Amino acid sequence: MASAGPFNAGSIDRLSIRELDPSEAQVHSDVAGPAFGAPPELLARVITAKVLGRPQVRCYVGEVDREPVVTATAVTIDDAVGIFNVGTAAPHQRRGYGAAITAHAALDGRTAGAKWAWLQSTEAGYGVYERLGFTTLERWPLWTSAS
């Protein structure tokens, strides 16, 4: 899915979004892992302090009452920002947090020089991204095992 904006999810009461310092990479894994049904250790191997130290990579956390509830990663290269690993902790889903952090990441990418944003969506996130103005460029078949 892709969009040139505008990126506006509106204001969400009590949600505060900030960029993670590279030393806080584990915060992303602790939220995103369970949100995707994966152990945090798996994501911790991908989103490391070294990765977050790259100038093109930004990782965000959204907090409610200082509790991390949503996270996303963005990579800005040339005129595009790719948005990855948007995950909301299960007890906090369906409150607009995923949309808010996605819009935040896209806007931050624009500040870094991107003219458009792209992402891959799960079925659960598809409507969220459509409401933000993202449109489908192509569909890819996905094969998964039954287990």
DSSP 27-74: HHHHHHHHHTTS-HHHHHTTS-HHHHTSTTEEEEEEEETTEEEEEEEE
- Give the CATH number of domain 2-19+55-131; options: 3.40.50.300, 3.30.413.10, 3.40.50.261, 3.40.630.30: 3.40.630.30
Instruction: Reply yes or no on whether the pLDDT at 17 is more than 90.
Output: yes
Residue 127: its H or E element? helix 123-131
Distance in angstroms (rounded) separating the CA atoms of residues 64 and 15: 5
pTM: 0.91
Listed range (105-109, 124-128, 142-146) with the worst mean pLDDT: 142-146
Domain positions in the chain are 2-19+55-131
Query: 59-111, pLDDT tens digit by residue?
Result: 999 999 999 999 999 999 999 999 999 999 999 999 999 999 999 999 999 99
The owner of tokens 């948007």 is 86
52 alpha carbon, distance to own chain's centre? 14
C-alpha triplet 142, 143, 146: angle, nearest 5°: 135
**pLDDT of amino acid 147:** 63
